[in-house]
Amino acid sequence: MVFHSLRQRIVASLGLPIFIGFAPLLSGSTPLGTQQEGLRNPPNPADLEGWEIYPPGQLPPDFASPSPSQSVSPSTSDVVPFAVARPATNVPTFTVTIVKRPITLIFYDAGTAPGDGDAVRIAFNGQTVKNVLPLTISGTVVQFPANLFRPGVNRIAITALGSGAIPLNTVGMIFPSTQVGNGNRRDIQFAITSGQTIGTTVGFPQIALCRTRFRFPCVASRSLSVFPESAQHVLEAQGIPPQPIVAPLRPGRTGNPLRRSYPRLLTVDRPNSTTRRNQSIAAYRTCPPKPNGTTQDRDEYPPAVFLENGVPNNSGVYVGSAHIKCIASRDNQLSGSSFGSQLNFYRERPNATPYAIDNQDTIEFVILD
């Protein structure tokens, strides 16, 4: 979800971050009469919304004190540390909705004196991506590794290393259109003093199912707006460790191995969904009806439309091996229609223009209470 705030909090005197709405250049950054480098082209004010400037020596809160999720191994960085995962109350908010893992951004010298020696340090979720990056007018492509991403809010921080031959440090950063959810290229430009840090938050599209009460971004399907059984299955699979698979097996079959974890960050792969679904449910017989006669289906997590429904074989091909549970057919089928609608018509905000989540894009699968 995209967070828009037009408020500007100028509180450097209190040692707090400066939230920038439309002003890319801090007045009073250098003594009066000192030559000062500016930006070559005025930035688009909309591109700067949600960015923050921190005084020299101060970093964003989660960089100063990394959370446990920032220090775990890549294989567990996108899972929930509970035996049965807890539903969220609301989806997180962040500035830029990205759709790729890894992402590649372009850093360049945006000043009127390019090549004067400006350099920056780049960090992501508290981990250094580039310790020293000289800024040039042509720009440098920087890749943010896939294993650094986590569910919810991810934070980028860029620190000015000196100000080159002419103050200030004029840093530009481009989010290519292919990396951004709505396809709108972003060109971020700031002129900052040595030691200052600029930062913002990014995250993936939030595909959500509501368990007990309906609200955005959940999407109703026919007469159902909440999907308690589908939601519960997702929470059981996302837990650490996941709940055992208890769906009834076909004679002589052993079923899908229970994974150590089932991720929340998932990759859309529509073309191979039918193959993965058939592979995932092959070992399990048709679910019996409930005692009250309600029919049941074999539900999968992750759903078959996502690459992570499967696990890679020795050739690197993902073979369906999902977590399986018998749930009410109506709940199963209409929840699938609900998140399918979100993939095809995703909205970052309730009144935002929808766009389709493409194949190979990353989403986060969220359960709301």
The predicted structure's pLDDT at residue 64: 53
Closest alpha carbon to 80 in 2, 152, 156, 146? 152
pLDDT at position 6 over 50: no
Average pLDDT score over the chain: 88
- pLDDT of residue 20 exceeding 80, the answer is no
pLDDT of residue 80: 56
| pTM (predicted TM-score) | 0.86
Per-residue pLDDT, averaged over 219-245, amounts to 96
Q: How far is CA 10 from CA 3, 23, 53, 175, 326, in A?
A: 19, 11, 10, 26, 55
86-126 residue pLDDT tens: 999 999 999 999 999 999 999 999 999 998 999 999 999 99
Per-residue 3-state assignment (H helix, E strand, C coil) for the chain: CECCCCCCCCCHHHCCCEEECCCCECCCCCCCCCCCCCECCCCCHHHHCCEEEECCCCCCHHHHCCCHHHCCCHHHCCCCCCCCCCCECCCCCECEEECCCCEEEEEEECECCCCCCCEEEEEECCEEEEEEEECCCCCEEEEECHHHCCCCCEEEEEEECCCCCCCCEEEEEEECHHHECCCCCEEEEEEECCCCEEEEEEECCEEEEECCCCCCCCCCECCECCCHHHHHHHHHHHCCCCCCCCCCECCCCCCCCCCCCCCCEEEECHHHHHHHHHHHHCCECCCCCCCCCCCEEEEEECCCCEHHHEEECCCCCEEECCEEEEEEHHHHHHHHHHHHHHHHCECCCCCCCCECCCCCCEEEEEEEC
Output the pLDDT for position 359: 97
- What's the pLDDT score for residue 70? 34
2 pLDDT exceeds 50?
Answer: no
